[in-house]
Amino acid sequence: MPSAQHPLKMEAAALSAFLKQAFPQFHGEILSVTESASRVRHQVSAEHLRPGGTVSGPTLMTLADVALYIDLLSKIGPVPLAVTTDFTCHFLNKPAAHTAIEAEARLLKLGRRLAIGEVYLYSEGVENPVAHVVATYSIPPQEKV
């Protein structure tokens, strides 16, 4: 499905600065932000692995959630109280251990109060996705100035 095109209200540098202030616990890297999608990378280390040497589900889901949040904010601006209201994750393939995970997020629908998007997650350098996420965000009403 083609992604929707939305003009950017925040570029990658502004989003990185916002995340450092609002969510200092996120240590990923924004690779790109465009009108159609955002790409985020997170380096995997031993703390992200579960028994059996695979990347943990919470690690993958966190990256997907943050990637979609970044793509949403790039289109609506710095709205910290936009929150996830629905999140469905399908684990497709075993991620490579000790290899960065890349997430590509795109909005499917952007309304005044809700946004729906999808994220594909990949082990860096591997063509087949390791997970697919569809999520909905609630956008708080904006005060009119």
Partners of 40 in the beta sheet? Answer: 30, 103
Q: Report the largest interatomic distance among the alpha carbons of the chain, rounded to a whole angstrom.
A: 54
Q: How far apart are CA 104 and CA 1, in angstroms?
A: 14
State yes or no: pLDDT of 144 exceeds 80.
Answer: no
pLDDT tens for each residue of 101-130: 999 999 999 999 999 999 999 999 999 999
- pTM over cut 0.85: yes
Of 10-14, 51-55, 105-109, 120-124, least confident by mean pLDDT is: 51-55
- Please answer whether residues 142 and 79 qualify as being in contact, where contact means their C-beta atoms are separated by less than 8 angstroms: yes
pLDDT, average across residues 45-74: 93
Q: Which domains does the chain have, with CATH numbers?
A: 12-138 (3.10.129.10)
C-alpha distances out from residue 85 to 40, 88, 89, 137, Å:
21, 10, 14, 5
pLDDT at 4: 67
State yes or no: pLDDT of 137 exceeds 60.
Answer: yes
Which residues are CB-contacts of 1 (< 8 A; sequence separation ≥ 6)?
108
pLDDT tens for each residue of 26-48: 889 999 999 999 999 999 988 89
Q: How far apart are CA 58 and CA 35, in angstroms?
A: 28
**Cα 134–Cα 143–Cα 35 angle in degrees, nearest 5:** 40
